[in-house]
Amino acid sequence: MEDSEIRCPKCGSTQITANKKGFSGKKAVAGAVLTGGIGVLAGTLGSNKIKITCLACGHTFKPGEDKASMEKKKAQDAKTMRNPFFWVFFVGIIALCWWCTRGCFNSGTSDSNTKTDSTSIQKSNIDISNIEYEIILSDVSSTPIRLDVYVKDTASISKLNDYFIATYNKDGKNYVNFNYFDSKKYAKNYFEVQTSDNYSEQKKDVYFKHYIATYKCNPSTNFKRLDYLHK
């Protein structure tokens, strides 16, 4: 091999030097500049721990890593990039990382701040464990927030209403409508009957007797009131 063939694989310069343990760097530099590589070969002969440095661009490489070997490596890399199995593996790794990251974020979400659509459901500390009631209809994702509730003891409506306010509208910013009935049967389709022409006025009056109270909150007019419909 001719001396001129010893070149930097990155820029092609012959101004190169070599380093190894116990080797004189000054000798190598002088030899590289003056002879274009002869000094490097002389200084590194017999070494198994050689690092060659290009004095023109600063690139470091090992003996044997000439331009041809770098071109071969580039060709191999390009072939790998064209391999469909490589992309399947690559996309799989990305998907796995995304799934793990998503799981970490979700695991940090607290159930105490659960949201139903745009409505924030809050926890209430009002004890209603001794009140027998059942929510017949719950629509907390629309405006107004609506609850149709059966309550066995109508005297407990006020306390139950406070519980619902603290749960669904503690800050008073939502438009809400809570309706209280003393019968599950009449609560289930009360508003359907009242707005239909298929029922007589007498039938509607029967339904109305079981519609005990209603609470409305309209934040735009600052209107809040619990009305009992029957005394």
- What are the tens digits of pLDDT across the range 16-59? 777 664 444 444 444 444 444 444 444 444 445 677 888 778 78
- 103, burial (CB in 10 Å: exposed 0-12, middle 13-18, buried 19+): exposed
Q: Assess contact for 213 and 158: CB atoms under 8 A.
A: no
What confidence tens digit (pLDDT) does each residue in 95-117 have? 887 777 765 545 444 333 333 33
Helix (DSSP H) and strand (DSSP E) numbers for the chain: 8, 10
What confidence tens digit (pLDDT) does each residue in 116-141 have? 334 445 556 788 889 999 999 999 88
Q: What is the mean pLDDT of residues 154-176?
A: 91
Domain ranges of the chain: 3-69, 119-228
Which pLDDT does position 15 carry in this prediction?
A: 78
**pLDDT greater than 60 at residue 10:** yes
Average pLDDT along the chain:
75
Neighbours of 147 (CB within 10 A): 22
Query: Tokens at residue 230, please?
Result: 């029957």
> How are the residues of the chain apportioned to helix, strand and coil, as percentages rounded to the nearest 5?
40, 20, 35
